[in-house]
C-alpha cells in the first residue's frame, strides 16, 4: 500500500457542496447547458473550458462529483462514470484496442467480460488469449507483438484467485502495453492504480453502491486517458454513449461515504462463515485463509483495515447438491438465491449455472471450477453466528454435511 495515498482519508476530505450550501451536491436535472458567450461553447466543445458543461452524455456535474470521489478513492488523476460495469469494461477496452490488436486476459473473469472477449471482440478482429493470471510465465508467454492490454480482476470471479498487480504491471511496462484491472470485488481493500495498473474499471452496482437498486460503472485512470475516452471526435465513451443518469450518480455518491464501514463488516462476516464452513469439513475458497494460494499476494497489496473481502466460494461437488442447499438457505432466511454481490443481505448463486454460464463447461472444468460451486457475497448481518446456525441447519436437513463433521 502506498504511504502517500490514503483512500479513506481522500474520501473523507472530499468537499462537494450543493448550489445553496447543501451538504450534498445539487443533482443535475438537465441534458444540455447554456452559455452567455458563444466562444465559451466552442472552447467547451474542444475540452478547453474548465468547469463548463456542454451536454450530459459528455459530462454532467452529478457524474463529475461521483467521478471525483472514485478518483479520490483510487488515487487516479481522473475517472468517468458509466451506466454499468460492462459499459466501463467495454469502453475502456475499445479505447485501447483496434482491429488487429490482441489482449491477454485472465481466464477467470466475470462472465459478461469473458463473453465480450470470447464472442464479441473477434467480430471486430480483436483477439484474446486467456491464461491463468496467477502464472506470470504464462502471462509473459502469451504476449505477442500486437498485444495492447493485459486484463484481469484483482480478485477473480468466481474462483477468488488473486492477481499480483505489481508484477503484472512490471510485465506490462516492459512490453509497453497497458494493464487494465477490474476492482469490483475489492474496493478500499486494494487500490490497483497505486500498484501500477494503468486503468481501473468498476461495476459500481456491487460493493461501491451496495444497495442493489441500480447498475452503474466507472473507469479510473490518468486524466489523459479519460480525456481520450470522452473526446467528441474519437472517444469511445462519448461516441458509444454509455453514460449514467445523474440521479443515480447522486445516490451512489451518498452510499460511497459508508463504504469503509460496510467493507469492514462484509469482511468480518465472510471470515467468520469461511472458517465455519471449513470446520464443518466443506471445501472453501477464501483468500483470507493463510493456506489460500492468493493469500500472501493479497496481503502484500491490501489495506489491512478492510480485511480479505466479502466473498467466499464453497464446493458442494454437484449442481444438484448446490441447488438443494441454496433452496434450503433461501427458505431459512440466510439470504437470497440471487446473482450479484456487495449487497447488505447475503447473496448466493451457483456460478456455473449463472454468472459464469457464458463460460463453456469444458473451460469451467479447465479453470478448476466445480459444477457445485456456490459463490457467497456475505451480507452485513449483525448476528453472523445466528446466520451460521441457520446455514448449519440447512446443511443438516439437506444431508449435505460431510460425515464426521464436528462443527
Ligand X SMILES: *Cc1c(COP(=O)(O)O)cnc(C)c1O
Alpha helices in 160-235 (DSSP H): 165-175, 223-229
Distance (Å, whole) CA 299 – CA 306: 11
- Which residue do the cell numbers 505477442 mark? 144
Tell me whether residue 53 or residue 114 sits nearer to ligand X (CB atom): 114
Least distance in angstroms from the C-beta of 128 to ligand X: 16
Tell me whether residue 81 or residue 139 sits nearer to ligand X (CB atom): 81
Tell me whether residue 86 or residue 378 sits nearer to ligand X (CB atom): 86
* Beta carbons within 8 Å of 3's beta carbon, 6+ residues apart: none
Stretch that binds ligand X, among 59-67, 119-127, 177-185, 226-234 (CB under 6 A): 177-185
Q: What burial class does residue 306 get, using C-beta atoms within 10 Å of its C-beta: 0-12 exposed, 13-18 middle, 19+ buried?
A: buried
Exactly one of 203, 328, 356, 364 binds ligand X (CB under 6 A); that residue is 203
* Beta carbons within 8 Å of 308's beta carbon, 6+ residues apart: 189, 267, 270, 271, 286, 287, 288, 298, 302
Distance (Å, whole) CA 70 – CA 199: 13
Strand order in the sheet with 199-203: 78-82, 217-221, 199-203, 178-182, 147-153, 102-106, 127-131
The grid coordinates of residue 385 equal: 453466528
Is residue 205 a contact residue for ligand X (CB under 6 A)? yes
Which neighbouring-strand residues pair with 80?
219
Stretch that binds ligand X, among 109-117, 118-126, 244-252, 321-329 (CB under 6 A): 109-117
Task: Compute CA distances 289 → 38, 106, 171, 261, whole Å.
Answer: 61, 22, 28, 22
Least distance in angstroms from the C-beta of 183 to ligand X: 8
Least distance in angstroms from the C-beta of 156 to ligand X: 8
Is residue 110 a contact residue for ligand X (CB under 6 A)? yes
Tell me whether residue 63 or residue 113 sits nearer to ligand X (CB atom): 113
Least distance in angstroms from the C-beta of 234 to ligand X: 24
Distance (Å, whole) CA 65 – CA 60: 9
Least distance in angstroms from the C-beta of 399 to ligand X: 32
The grid coordinates of residue 152 equal: 484481469
Tell me whether residue 92 or residue 238 sits nearer to ligand X (CB atom): 92
Exactly one of 58, 206, 260, 285 binds ligand X (CB under 6 A); that residue is 206
Is residue 133 a contact residue for ligand X (CB under 6 A)? no
For residue 258, the SS3 value is: coil
Q: Tell which positions 349-378 bind ligand X, by CB under 6 A.
A: none
Distance (Å, whole) CA 220 – CA 55: 21
Q: What burial class does residue 128 get, using C-beta atoms within 10 Å of its C-beta: 0-12 exposed, 13-18 middle, 19+ buried?
A: buried
Tell me whether residue 207 or residue 388 sits nearer to ligand X (CB atom): 207
Exactly one of 74, 101, 153, 381 binds ligand X (CB under 6 A); that residue is 153
Is residue 308 a contact residue for ligand X (CB under 6 A)? no
- List the one residue out of 340, 363, 343, 342 whose CA is nearest residue 352: 363
Q: Tell which positions 217-276 bind ligand X, by CB under 6 A.
A: 217
* Extended beta strands in 240-293, E state: 283-285
Tell me whether residue 28 or residue 203 sits nearer to ligand X (CB atom): 203
Tell me whether residue 177 or residue 215 sits nearer to ligand X (CB atom): 215
Stretch that binds ligand X, among 15-23, 36-44, 180-188, 394-402 (CB under 6 A): 180-188
Is residue 84 a contact residue for ligand X (CB under 6 A)? yes
Tell me whether residue 203 or residue 297 sits nearer to ligand X (CB atom): 203
Least distance in angstroms from the C-beta of 81 to ligand X: 12
Is residue 184 a contact residue for ligand X (CB under 6 A)? yes
Least distance in angstroms from the C-beta of 40 to ligand X: 35
Is residue 85 a contact residue for ligand X (CB under 6 A)? yes
Number of residues that bind ligand X (CB under 6 A): 16
Alpha helices in 155-203 (DSSP H): 165-175
Least distance in angstroms from the C-beta of 164 to ligand X: 18
> Given the rule CB under 6 A, which residues bind ligand X?
84-86, 110, 112-113, 153, 157, 182, 184-185, 203, 205-206, 215, 217
Amino acid at each position: 500500500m502506498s504511504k502517500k495515498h490514503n483512500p479513506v482519508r481522500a474520501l473523507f476530505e472530499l468537499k462537494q457542496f450543493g448550489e445553496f450550501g447543501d451538504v450534498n451536491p445539487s443533482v443535475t436535472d438537465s441534458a444540455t447547458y447554456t452559455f452567455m458567450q458563444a466562444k465559451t461553447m466552442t472552447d467547451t466543445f474542444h475540452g478547453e473550458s474548465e468547469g463548463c458543461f456542454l451536454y450530459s452524455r459528455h459530462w454532467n456535474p452529478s457524474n463529475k462529483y461521483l467521478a471525483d470521489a472514485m478518483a479520490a478513492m483510487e488515487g487516479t488523476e481522473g475517472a468517468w462514470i458509466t451506466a454499468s460495469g460492462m459499459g466501463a469494461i467495454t469502453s475502456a477496452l475499445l479505447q485501447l484496442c483496434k482491429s488487429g490488436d490482441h489482449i491477454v486476459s485472465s481466464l477467470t473473469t466475470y462472465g459478461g467480460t469473458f463473453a465480450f472477449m470470447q464472442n464479441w471482440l473477434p467480430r471486430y478482429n480483436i483477439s484474446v488469449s486467456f491464461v491463468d493470471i496467477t502464472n506470470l510465465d504464462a502471462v509473459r508467454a502469451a504476449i505477442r507483438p500486437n498485444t495492447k492490454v493485459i486484463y484481469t480482476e484483482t480478485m477473480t470471479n468466481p474462483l477468488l484467485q488473486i492477481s499480483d498487480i505489481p508484477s503484472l504491471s512490471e510485465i506490462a511496462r516492459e512490453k509497453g502495453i497497458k494493464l487494465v484491472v477490474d476492482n469490483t470485488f475489492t474496493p478500499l481493500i486494494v487500490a490497483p492504480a497505486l500498484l501500477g495498473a494503468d486503468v481501473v474499471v468498476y461495476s459500481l452496482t456491487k460493493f461501491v453502491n451496495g444497495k442493489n437498486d441500480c447498475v452503474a460503472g466507472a473507469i479510473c485512470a490518468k486524466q489523459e486517458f479519460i480525456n481520450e475516452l470522452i473526446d467528441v471526435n474519437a472517444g469511445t465513451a462519448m461516441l458509444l454513449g454509455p453514460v449514467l443518469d445523474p440521479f443515480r450518480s447522486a445516490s451512489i455518491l451518498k452510499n460511497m461515504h459508508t463504504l469503509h464501514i460496510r467493507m469492514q463488516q462484509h469482511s468480518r462476516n465472510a471470515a467468520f462463515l469461511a472458517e465455519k464452513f471449513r470446520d464443518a469439513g466443506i471445501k472453501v475458497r477464501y483468500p483470507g485463509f493463510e493456506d489460500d494460494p492468493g493469500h500472501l499476494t493479497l496481503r502484500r497489496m491490501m489495506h489491512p483495515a478492510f480485511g480479505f473481502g466479502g466473498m467466499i466460494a464453497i464446493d458442494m461437488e454437484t449442481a444438484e447438491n448446490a441447488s438443494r442447499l441454496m433452496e434450503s438457505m433461501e427458505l431459512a432466511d440466510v439470504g437470497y438465491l440471487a446473482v450479484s454481490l456487495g449487497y447488505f443481505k447475503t447473496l448466493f448463486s451457483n456460478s456455473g449455472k449463472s454468472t459464469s454460464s457464458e463460460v463453456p463447461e469444458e473451460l469451467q472444468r479447465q479453470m478448476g471450477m466445480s459444477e457445485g460451486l456456490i459463490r457467497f457475497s456475505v451480507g452485513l448481518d449483525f448476528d453472523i453466528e445466528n446466520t451460521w446456525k441457520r446455514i448449519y441447519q440447512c446443511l443438516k436437513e439437506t444431508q449435505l454435511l460431510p460425515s464426521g463433521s464436528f462443527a
